[in-house]
Each structure stands twice: as C-alpha cells, then as structure tokens.
Amino acid sequence: MDTYVARQPIFNKKKKLFAYELLFRNSLNNAMPDIEGDTATSKILSSSFYTIGINEITGGHKAFINFTESLILKEFPLLFSKENMVVEILEDVEPTDAIIDACKLLIEKGYTLALDDFVFKTDLEQLIKLAHIIKIDFRLTPIDEIQSCLNKLPSKNIKLLAEKVETNSEFEKALEMGFEYFQGYFFCKPEIIKGKEISTSNVNNMKLMAEINGSEFDFDRVGKLIERDVSISYKLLQYANSSFFKRINKVKKIKQALVNLGENEIRRFISFFLLSKVAHGKPEELIKQSCIRAKFCENLGTISKHCKYSDELFTTGIFSLIDAILDQDIEVIMKKIPLVKEIKQALILQEGELGDYLKLSVFYEKGDWDKVKFFSDKLGIQEDKIPNIYTNACVWSNEIPCKE
C-alpha cells in the first residue's frame, strides 16, 4: 500500500509556524479504507520517520500525530524521537488506569501530549492534568460552549490549540479567548480592507513574476538582473547549494549557479524571491504553501495522460494565494497582471483544466482524499505517484529561501 501524507500548519499567536499535523490516508479509494487506526498510525509513522524522513515533510518542525488507545498501551510513541513529535491522544481514548500509566511514562521520557477534539468530561480530569496541549474544534463547537469548557480547565499551564480556524475573525476570537496555537486555513484568506490599494512596487514585482514565467526567457537579461542585486545574488547561491540538489562541489559564482540550475529552476527561484518581497509582513507559510502548490501542480502535469497547459501550471500555483498575500480581491489583482486567460480563469473561478489541478492540490493539502481521487481520475493522473510528488514539493519548499 502507498502512504498518502499531507501536512497542515499550526501557528502561534504571531502567525509563526509552530508545527504541522500530519494527515494520513492509506489509499485513494472512493470509500474510506477498511483499515484500523492502529494500522494507519503505524504506517504513517514508519513511512514518515523511516522511509521519507520526518524532517523532509516538516522542515524540522514538530509533527502532531494521532495515537489510538492500543498504540499508547503498547508504548508505540517511545519508538520515535520526542524532539520531532507531539503525541496526539484521540478523543475516543478511554482514560483507564493503564492509559494514565502509559501517558505518565511518556511524560517522564520527555514527550509532549495533546488531547484531540477535546470536550470537557469529569472522567477526563486525570488526562487533563497530564496534557500539555488541548485541541478544541473551533468550527463545530459554539463559542459559549468553548468558553464554558475553558472555565472548567485547571489553572495549570495547559496550552490551548484552536483547530479548524477558517477565517481571520475566528482567529481573532480564539486569540481573545486565550488560545496559544491555531490550526486551519485562516492564513490563506485575505483580510480585505475597503479602499486599500496595491502598491506600485508590488504591481511591478507581480508583473515581473508573470514575465519571468512567460514563454520568452532572456537568460542574459535575467543574469544581469541578479548580479546587480546583492540580496538576490546571495539567496541564489544559497538555493544553488541547498541539499535539494545534492551537489558535491559548492557553487561560488552567480554565472556558475545560473548554468547549473538552468532556465526552469531560475524561473522558479526568481518567482519566489519576488513573491517574498510582495508578501513582506505576511506569514512565511503563505509563501511555502504557494511554493508547494506551484511545484506540486507542475509535476502533476508531467504524469497526466492529457495535460494541455503544462507551461502554465507552475504560474497558477505560485499566484494561487496572492489574494491572501495582498489582502485584495483576486479579481482586482488579476486586472493588474498580464497572465493568460486560462490562469486567470483558474484563479478567479477555479474553472478549466488549470483550475482542476489547483483544486487537486488544495484537496490534497486538506486531506480530502475522496476529492483527490475524483480530480486525479478526471485529469488522467496515476494515483500511486501522487504522494511522492507531494513529498518532493514539500522538500523543495523547505530549501526555498523565503525571507526577503
């Protein structure tokens, strides 16, 4: 069986990345696979920690991973590094004496415990006393019930994590209520402010991004552009020498970097350098997510049986979060950038072939495996190749020097 692993970011109060929760699916069957939670968790751990490498997926950040009652009793978490993992205890785990003893052992060994989908019950008090983090579903639980639940918690130093935070207003509310960590796609949503204009410098950077990704590529012009900018030159050498390319000899000169990377990699590098300038002040994860989508969409096109717009896939991905980056309506932004109509159709309406690739990427991010199955079939993509393509995109994004 192939392992499908997606990652969902978890942020702190300042919208800085704290960790990722790893989302798992054993296969892309239409129905949920007939697989026990123990098998699922064992498989994701063996794949993530041993086959793929946990740092490859998380970029060195902690990974929240669900554990069933059986796996906790078998002391399965002890097989893995406490530095890399948060042990997430599922809501259906019964707080028996054996479970409490197993959790105490994990704490003695230095592991971090989180209670998933938490709803206060008196019989959970012993687990609550042991937990470091409590996760509360911010979408399914009414605000007054959340507040009531928080009032019942002991005063010990428990960190609160709001999950399924989908809007900026929900983020602000959770922040106000005392939550420390936030999980959901609120960071991908624009905070549209009426009357706000896109700066001339941002418009120019976006136009240059569109030009760099166009059909005509002037290598000499691009080389001169890089050489006269110390910041971009430094980051180019960083990128050329990153572990992603596995070079034996270090690249020391700009021209050498340009030759070694080639046209396509130079396009990608400059695109994300410019995106980081446009996204100044925004969560770095926005750039990372754009990076993953661009690479993921591009590589999905290479394995599709009938891809018509392979040259536009990377550009579609890179601009897919531009509304959240600029806090502007996507239609307003698209009027200012010279992109082909197929890309604009995908970004504004999520329609057309490019829109289908983008939707496949977004549904994979969210672990919506049934919809991943639907769009992979529609696009003629062999399912068992998708996980490696996603992991490769994550690895690549870890090497992109995102900060301006």
Q: First-to-last CA distance in the chain?
A: 41
User: SS3 for 133-162, per residue?
Assistant: EEEEECCCCCHHHHHHHHHHCCCCCCEEEE
| DSSP run (H or E) holding 65 | strand 62-67
Please tell me the distance from the alpha carbon of residue 290 to that of residue 397, in angstroms, as a whole number: 9
Other Cβ atoms less than 10 A from the Cβ of 342: the count is 17
Residue with tokens 């969902």: 8
pLDDT at 362: 96
Contact 209, 320 (CB under 8 A): no
d(CA 305, CA 324): 32
Closest CA to 22 of 189, 183, 188, 244: 183
In angstroms, the CA 3 to CA 107 distance is: 29
The two structure tokens encoding residue 225? 């552009």
Query: Any idea what DSSP says for residue 68?
Result: -
d(CA 291, CA 269): 10
pLDDT at 91: 86
What pLDDT, on a 0 to 100 scale, did the predictor assign at position 32? 34
Give the pLDDT confidence score for residue 108 in this predicted structure.
Answer: 95
Assigned token pair, 113: 């415990």
Q: What is the CATH number of domain 4-188?
A: 3.20.20.450
What is d(CA 19, CA 394) in angstroms, rounded to the nearest whole number?
14
Going residue by residue through the chain, which has 404 residues, state the pLDDT in tens, using 9 for 90 and above. Answer: 356 788 999 999 999 999 999 887 754 433 334 445 566 656 665 655 555 567 778 888 999 988 888 889 988 888 778 888 999 998 888 889 999 999 999 999 999 999 998 888 888 889 999 999 999 999 888 899 999 989 888 867 899 999 999 999 999 999 999 999 999 999 998 887 766 788 888 888 888 888 777 766 677 777 777 777 777 788 788 888 877 777 777 888 878 888 888 878 888 888 888 888 898 889 999 999 999 999 999 999 999 988 988 889 999 999 999 999 999 999 999 999 989 999 999 999 999 999 999 999 999 999 999 999 999 999 999 988 998 899 899 988 887 765 54
3 state DSSP class of 88: strand
- Does the pTM surpass 0.75? The reply is yes
pLDDT recorded at residue 195:
65
pLDDT of residue 123: 83
Structure tokens given for 330: 């996507």
Token pair 């769009």 is found at: 375
Question: In sequence order, which residues have a C-beta less than 8 Å from that of residue 292 and are 6 or more positions away?
Answer: 317, 361, 365, 390, 393, 394, 396, 397
d(CA 258, CA 237): 9
List, in sequence order, the alpha helices (H) in 109-142: 125-130
**CATH homologous superfamily of 200-399:** Hypothetical protein af1432 (1.10.3210.10)
Which two three-digit tokens encode residue 46? 């063996």
List the chain domain ranges.
4-188, 200-399
Per-residue pLDDT at 34? 42
